[in-house]
Structure 1
């Protein structure tokens, strides 16, 4: 499948993940598990975009601009709805911008002859990595995922092993045993970052082709993400 087709599939799954206010908790838990592949798939495609783009600086600036746009939009929506329970704090663009900044710095290392400059770029990339993990949405999963994806782009077996190791580490960090199996499974449903590994089938479905290539396909996903979250927040405020 082309990148565009897979992104449309992910957009549908994305909506399922964000409609928890409108479905029973147990259904919301199932949706949450099934959609752990969404964020990391867009991270995967961001790394692909970084590889193919003719202007990496422009690509990074576009993601940064969208992160700023979404942050402003979030603040406006949250001011309008006056309900902390349904406030919008998501901003995947900030995560993507941090990830692309990190791998951009890494990509510059091999182009430097000076050991001092190489050391500076490595330290800068580590700094961005640390900030991204600490302050961005899903950063603890998505920044390491982007790093592995970039460094192992031509080594799929190594990449997959590292994904698996990362999934096991995340599982061990989130697992807590409860008195009953039902409670334990419920806990895992809402602490299911380790399930990002379900992105692998979609990565293998990706045929390396961009797919649709026009203004609509270029910008639809940039704006679908914030707008659908804002609409869900407004509907939640007025219908619940």
Structure 2
């Protein structure tokens, strides 16, 4: 008798859902000036946990971790070069729109941290320690260059070398990805990690009030990422592994260019 396949959504479908929610979030980012589209921003709060979850799954399943990490690093470098060039060529100053998006860096550092932990588990203590410590160094170098008033070199380090503190979402998002990896197949523990980070985001908000949860502070809404993760069936799914690498920067730059054209033409 053939085993019944577990129902739910696979990893590729989970990425597609994350991509759809991401589009909503970036429409808000590029067109917040056109009207009240805060609900799109709310939808987008689930995106980072979803992609960090798939990153942890991807690290586990990939047949070549070096290639996986390299793809993420190349994506980070691509956006580090193109984003500032696009903002300089097509500046949007009033209202201001800044292209700070580069989740490739967050995912690359997360993969590096997972890799380091795995090496420690395998008693490769020197290699594991080096892999875990290296992403700390760019922050020290960046701060040292700033203190020496070497602004250009400091920015070069920030854009060229991902670090725990310098990536999108910062250290806490890297920590969440690592938690997903350490708690793999222990779904309740993964949910508790999301809940803990959501609570921290809510209650650490400056001048916190209950009303602020639906006012200026929406990051806690990442808690709703638990819903699609609950339906994940553990299967990778079939689809292009390069889709996200292309779609992520392409849709951000397309939306930015549309916003530039609309603002410059007075629409």
Q: Normalization by structure 2: what TM-score?
A: 0.76
Distance 2:11 2:68 in 1: 17
Equivalent in the alignment of 2:232: 206
- Counting matched residue pairs gives 228
Q: Deviations over 1:101-153 (max 9, x none)?
A: 11111111122266xx2xx7347525637964421111244212101101111
Q: Which runs of 5+ in 1 are unaligned?
A: none
Structure 1 residues 45 and 184 mapped into 2: Cα distance closer, same or farther (>3 Å)?
closer
- Could you tell me which of 115, 128, 153 is aligned with 1:121? 128
Per the alignment, in what secondary structure is the counterpart of residue 187 of structure 1? coil
In the alignment, does 2:216 pair up with 1:187?
A: yes
In the alignment, does 2:202 pair up with 1:171?
A: yes
Q: Deviations over 1:48-107 (max 9, x none)?
A: 010011111111111101111111121221121123422312100011001111111111
Residue 193 of structure 1 and its aligned partner are, at CA, apart by 2.1
CA contact (8 A) 1:86 1:236 kept: no
Residue 46 of structure 1 and its aligned partner are, at CA, apart by 0.8
- Could you tell me which of 26, 30, 39 is aligned with 1:18? 26
For 1:6-155, list aligned pairs within 5 A. Answer: 6-20=14-28, 21-22=30-31, 27-84=36-93, 85-112=96-123, 117=126, 121-122=128-129, 124-125=131-132, 128=135, 132-155=163-186
Q: CA RMSD in A?
A: 2.5
Structure 1 residues 175 and 28 mapped into 2: Cα distance closer, same or farther (>3 Å)?
farther
In the alignment, does 2:157 pair up with 1:157?
A: no
- Greater RCO (Cα-Cα under 8 Å, separation 6 or more): 1
Structure 1 residues 113 and 97 mapped into 2: Cα distance closer, same or farther (>3 Å)?
closer
- Could you tell me which of 222, 237, 240 is aligned with 1:196? 222
CA contact (8 A) 1:38 1:199 kept: yes
Residue 45 of structure 1 and its aligned partner are, at CA, apart by 0.5
Relative to its length, the structure with more helix (as a share) is: 1
Equivalent in the alignment of 1:4: 12
